[in-house]
Amino acid sequence: MKLPDDASRAAEAPPETSTPSTPAAPGSVSELTTAAQHAAQAHELAAQELSSSAHHDQLWGPLERAHRERAADLRGRAEAGVEHPAEGSVPSGAGDATSSAPLAAPLAAPLAARSVQDALAGARAAAAQLPATEPGISRPTLDLRIGIICDRFLFDTYSGAAHLIPITPQNWQDHLHEVDLLLVAATWRGHDGIAWDNTAAEAPERRRLLTHTIIPAYREAGAPPVYYGKEDPPDYRQFLDVARACDHIFTTAAEVVEDYRRDCPEAKSIEVLPFGVNPLLHSPIGSRSAPAEARELIFFAGSWMGRKYQKRARYAEWILDGVLDAGKPLAIVDRWWEEVTAQLDAEQPLLSPNHLIPVKYWPYRVPAMDHHELMDLQRVVDIAVNLNSVIASQTMFANRALELQAAGTLVLSSYNQGLNSYHPQVRIANSAADVEETLRGLDLEELRRSQGDGVREVFLGHHVSDLLTRVARTAGKDVAPQQELVVAVAETLTAELAQDMAAQRRTGLAAAGQGSDSGGFSPVELLSWEQLGARAADPLAKPIDVLLPVSPARRYGPDYAADHVAAFRYQSATITAKLTGSAVQSDAQAHQHQRGFKDLDLTAWWRPEAAALVTPAVLAASGQDARVYAIDHLGHASAEAIEASGLAPAALPHPGDDVDAVKAEVHRTAQAQQLELSVIVPIYNNGDHLRHKAFASLRRSPHFPQTHVLLIDDGSTDPVTVATVEELARSYGNVSAFRHGTGGSGSASRPRNTGLELTATEYVTYLDPDDEELEAGYHLLQRRLAEHPEANFALGTQVTWTNRHQILPVHDWYTGIERRDGMCWPTRDSLREIRFRPASIEGIVARTEWLQGLGLTQPVGATGQDTFFFQQMMFHARAYVPVDRPVYTYYGAVDTSIVNVVSPGYFRKYLILEAARASWLREVGLLQDYLDTRFEHFFVTWYLWKFSRVPAAQRAEAAEVLAEIAAFYVEDPESHAWQTPEALRFFGQHRLPSPGKLRPLAGRLKRRALNTAGQRVGQFKRTRMGRGAGALYRRTLKPKSKTLDRVTALREVTAEIERIQRRQTSHWGITAAEAAYALAVQDRRRSPDAE
């Protein structure tokens, strides 16, 4: 059932404004009263549909009553001409629900009563109008014939990039001499869903045919067999026998490369190959042309896997709940729709929770759809959801994260190390409230920036043509790498233009991090028109692939050329163009083709004819009627406007700013804007993370206007970082920047020291560029600190992501410190009592006058200096306020190189730290206390753990540095009475360790034994005897799977009812999340095509 046309039209949301987060303008009282009546009617219709259902009355009955209560409440308020108070506010003179305040439009929840089916229908209609996808003009189909064994999704992704021939157990002999190489990917069923079905009875025989017959035959025929472990690391051992049979091994997970080297010693090569995107399937073309209503839909498509990946399911609920709480329309494309519907209609037990989407999300379920239709839907929406089964990998994450970015879609994702390291524009969920805050605070400019960065990144670093070229070259095939030659041309050559072109980033972040130039392009050469003409006439000169006409009237950002190069990889027009104006002004023209262009100095030309390379006028005339692809408005600005701002892009190397001059400006800014809290952000060559992680988290806080953001650049050599710092300072009045001389000091100490010296607000804290403030946590600390004048700082807890999610119980560490009057009162002995265990200075807000008055400086060039700084703060504090809530997120596994090798130089940075710490501890009389309670534990668990990762050739040098560190605390490290077996062994002592120190070693041995046993069990399961034993167990001894019964479903729906009822005191408009229940029963029974 659909709502009647008049009711659904009347209950629709007000027209969308230019930015997603802008509240609707208030209407007249009569208009809003009418809207409230229509919203009440929508609730009544939902109740009627639920009451008419014969299925599961006990499940939907309470929900029907909730809708009726909401409808009555809305009608009563409409008749009285009063409103529900806006969230967090009470109308003046109001003490109860009968307040006589005038009606006003809701601030956050729309008036919409659109069901999930209606929202999806609108998005599908928009998808049907999309222009066709195109091959990239710079990436034609490779002259490469590949015999391939893979699943449907990988086959679709690689189709068109090369000539693919699916190999099956039936046809493999037919193509034995027709292919250049054989690519065997880890697959559960095969490209057609049946050819290589691993669940079939004949699966073992098929596997033996593959490893013992097909692969050797293709090798003998001159087609080198290549294995692609795309299911690594979770299912590494499931396909290990296939990998062993192949000559070359590629894996999605860098973490298992060493495992392959151990288990496949005969392999000729073992490399990392990430997932890829194909412009014929994943494309941003037309992605901005859909109606605003269609773009609002947020969807998730994928398996739930709630039993196999329980943590992933919990993180998924954060995202989905956050989307609903933000009032956004949500659709969950359910792969198991047909099975669940059939079981409901037959009154049968439901699927296992591993596949079943939780009942509380059933109103948002929609039937599964064709893969290509799903890809088009990705192009239409602005935001979509991605879930990662693997957390602890720098290279393996869900390929949907790449596909969505290629479609120009912002990704809301659960955490993964690689996504966080190399795709900072992907929004990582930390809680439902965090997701809600992200969506509510996202404006159109930030949305388009994140989407633009994603499009560029994936087509520079993950284009399937480049990936298959790597595979072929590794396998010994003569396939030339594809790298564009880029040349810029200007009528007048200026120092600024030369600076901008020299600063162009030429490869994707992920490719750079893996030490690969895959997907990159040449350095941009700047020529005059005369020089260009001479080059075009030179028969020995290499042909130009991409020509960039530029002008001194503009400044070009470091990603300007890359945006054009990427566009030539996903569409086929020979001219691309950048747009002018803001996101609002240019959005209607972005990511679509047009005839001609407006500004020559914002275009790029693919292999232009030599006859046109004479003058700007001749080149422009040749393209006025040409088909041109308009990208977006990003990456350039008026030179005049930038000069007027006083923050022109800095030339590298930069001598550094004057501290006194910047300090004066910082103080003027803080005073003029009455700023309250300074956030010091130390920066060095991490501009992408600064923009999308730290700064984005500060900006989405409702208290951002009262925050003074101090961006302290430690001398970045990366033009992207330099440009990002300057752009943020230029764009926001409460952001101040300071630049140290180019080159860096080696750690965050110097910029943190500078930031504290510059601070001019009452309160101060620190935030690293790759971390995030969480749920306005700094404002909470500031408020609590203001409530306790005797305290020197407030301390919150933190969320930590490494290879798992943790909320550190910081205050449990400090239970020995006296608590009274809502504060903790440390003494001189407190550091010893807490065993010198530090909290993070990113989790504190301190009084600036107190912290500056201590005269503390973090050791310049040292690593780990923030822990020492906190120990000093605790020593000097009279009192602090404990706040038992996470206030920031620490991402502890941000990678800068996949080959993460520790060298002796790493320990030398700690040598600086330990020299300063030992000196201070000796000065305050705590050196022996630190030695007794902390030093050996830290030496073993941190230094020796890092030492185990030092290459063998450098270990002697690293050991000398560690001995120097130990000598700061003990006279003779080799004769000191160490207590742990690790320290004894490192210093060459042969006595028995203290019994109490053996527990960590015993734990490691236990884990090693369990891992070994698990591997042997896994190997046994794959044998004929093991499979037989497994079948017998499942039929006899295995407990029956616990199905999701009606009681559980009722409990989950009751929670949704309570959420609806709570909203009666916050927003009088019906939200899309609530109204989705209007079609809940119908959604269970039939697909939208049956209506």
- Give the count of domains, the chain: 6
Per-residue pLDDT tens over the stretch 360-410: 888 888 899 988 999 999 999 999 999 999 999 999 999 999 999 999 999
User: What count of residues does the chain have?
Assistant: 1091
Average pLDDT (44-59) is 62
212 and 74 within one domain? no
> What's the alpha-carbon Rg for the chain, to the nearest Å?
31
Q: What letter represents residue 616's amino acid?
A: P
Query: Alpha-carbon distance 739 to 647, whole Å?
Result: 12
Instruction: Report the SS3 class of residue 209.
Output: helix
Average pLDDT (831-842) is 96
183 and 98 within one domain? no
Domain boundary among 639, 673, 707: 639
Average pLDDT (237-246) is 94
Mean of all residue pLDDT scores within the chain: 85
pLDDT confidence bin for 15, thresholds 50/70/90 = very low
Q: Between the CA of residue 618 and those of 609, 612, 627, what are the distances in Å?
A: 11, 6, 17
Per-residue pLDDT tens over the stretch 966-1009: 999 999 999 999 999 899 999 988 766 666 556 666 666 777 77
Half-sphere exposure (Cβ direction) of 688: Cα atoms closer than 13 Å: 24
Q: Give residues with Cβ within 8 angstroms of 154, minimum separation 6.
A: 185, 187, 191, 230
Residue 449 inside a domain? The answer is no
Residue 955 inside a domain? The answer is yes
Burial 513-522 (b: 16+ CB within 10 A, else e): bbebebbbbb
Half-sphere exposure (Cβ direction) of 255: Cα atoms closer than 13 Å: 17
Query: Alpha-carbon distance 169 to 384, whole Å?
Result: 38
Q: Between the CA of residue 732 and those of 683, 695, 727, 737, 751, what are the distances in Å?
A: 18, 11, 9, 11, 21
The two structure tokens encoding residue 394: 């720098």
- Give me the pLDDT at residue 77, please: 73
What counts of helices (H) and strands (E) characterise the chain?
Answer: 46, 32
Instruction: Report the SS3 class of residue 464.
Output: helix
- Does the pLDDT value for residue 1069 go beyond 60? no
Beta bridge partners of 763: 677, 847
761 and 681 within one domain? yes
The range of the structural domain enclosing residue 554 comes to 479-639
- Give me the pLDDT at residue 1035, please: 61
861 and 741 within one domain? yes
Phi, psi at 190, each rounded to 5°: 105, 170
CATH code: domain of residue 764 = 3.90.550.10
Q: What is the DSSP letter of 632?
A: -
Query: Alpha-carbon distance 547 to 989, whole Å?
Result: 67
CATH code: domain of residue 185 = 3.40.50
The two structure tokens encoding residue 164: 């693919």
- Does the pLDDT value for residue 4 go beyond 70? no
pLDDT confidence bin for 643, thresholds 50/70/90 = confident
853 and 949 within one domain? no
- Give me the pLDDT at residue 1012, please: 73
798 and 725 within one domain? yes
- Give me the pLDDT at residue 363, please: 81
Q: Give residues with Cβ within 8 angstroms of 396, minimum separation 6.
A: 232, 233, 251, 252, 253, 254, 255, 390, 416, 418
pLDDT confidence bin for 780, thresholds 50/70/90 = very high
Give the global pTM: 0.84
Contact between residue 320 and residue 414 where contact means Cβ atoms under 8 Å apart: no
- Give me the pLDDT at residue 1056, please: 59
Residue 293 inside a domain? The answer is no
920 and 861 within one domain? no
* Percentage of the chain modeled with pLDDT above 90: 67
The two structure tokens encoding residue 897: 């190189």
CA-closest candidate to residue 263, choices 1054, 1024, 1015, 1034: 1015
Per-residue pLDDT tens over the stretch 310-342: 899 999 999 999 999 998 999 999 988 888 777
- Does the pLDDT value for residue 796 go beyond 50? yes
Query: Alpha-carbon distance 595 to 624, whole Å?
Result: 7
Residue 132 inside a domain? The answer is no
Question: Could you identify the residue written with the tokens 């006899």?
Answer: 1036
Residue 458 inside a domain? The answer is no
Domain boundary among 962, 983, 1000: 1000
pLDDT confidence bin for 487, thresholds 50/70/90 = very high
Average pLDDT (919-941) is 95
Per-residue pLDDT tens over the stretch 110-131: 333 356 778 899 999 999 999 9
156 and 92 within one domain? no
What is the pairing mode between strands 844-847 and 880-891?
unpaired
Average pLDDT (825-851) is 96
- Does the pLDDT value for residue 66 go beyond 50? yes
Contact between residue 53 and residue 1078 where contact means Cβ atoms under 8 Å apart: no
- Does the pLDDT value for residue 167 go beyond 80? yes
- Does the pLDDT value for residue 1019 go beyond 90? no
- Give me the pLDDT at residue 229, please: 96
- Does the pLDDT value for residue 647 go beyond 70? no
Contact between residue 254 and residue 271 where contact means Cβ atoms under 8 Å apart: no
Per-residue pLDDT tens over the stretch 550-583: 999 999 999 999 999 999 999 999 999 999 999 9
* Percentage of the chain modeled with pLDDT above 70: 80
Query: Alpha-carbon distance 520 to 1072, whole Å?
Result: 44
Question: Would you list the DSSP string of 723-744?
Answer: HHHHHHHHH-TTEEEEEPPTT-
Per-residue pLDDT tens over the stretch 587-620: 999 999 999 999 999 999 999 999 999 999 999 9
- Give me the pLDDT at residue 1037, please: 58
CA-closest candidate to residue 648, choices 539, 495, 459: 495
Question: Would you list the DSSP string of 516-543?
Answer: --TT--PPPEEEEHHHHHHHHH-TTSPP
The two structure tokens encoding residue 104: 């006003």
71 and 208 within one domain? no
- Give me the pLDDT at residue 144, please: 96
Residue 1034 inside a domain? The answer is no
870 and 783 within one domain? yes
Q: How far, rounded to the nearest angstrom, does the alpha carbon of residue 541 sit from its chain's CA centroid?
A: 42
Residue 1027 inside a domain? The answer is no
- Does the pLDDT value for residue 282 go beyond 50? yes
Measured torsion, CA atoms of residues 427, 431, 434, 436, in degrees rounded to the nearest 10? 100
Query: Alpha-carbon distance 473 to 140, whole Å?
Result: 17
Per-residue pLDDT tens over the stretch 931-959: 999 999 999 999 999 999 899 899 999 99
pLDDT confidence bin for 961, thresholds 50/70/90 = very high
- Does the pLDDT value for residue 7 go beyond 60? no
CATH code: domain of residue 509 = 3.90.550
- Does the pLDDT value for residue 517 go beyond 80? no
- Does the pLDDT value for residue 465 go beyond 50? yes
742 and 706 within one domain? yes
102 and 34 within one domain? yes
Q: How far, rounded to the nearest angstrom, does the alpha carbon of residue 645 sit from its chain's CA centroid?
A: 32
- Does the pLDDT value for residue 823 go beyond 50? yes
Query: Alpha-carbon distance 462 to 161, whole Å?
Result: 13
Residue 739 inside a domain? The answer is yes
- Give me the pLDDT at residue 13, please: 32
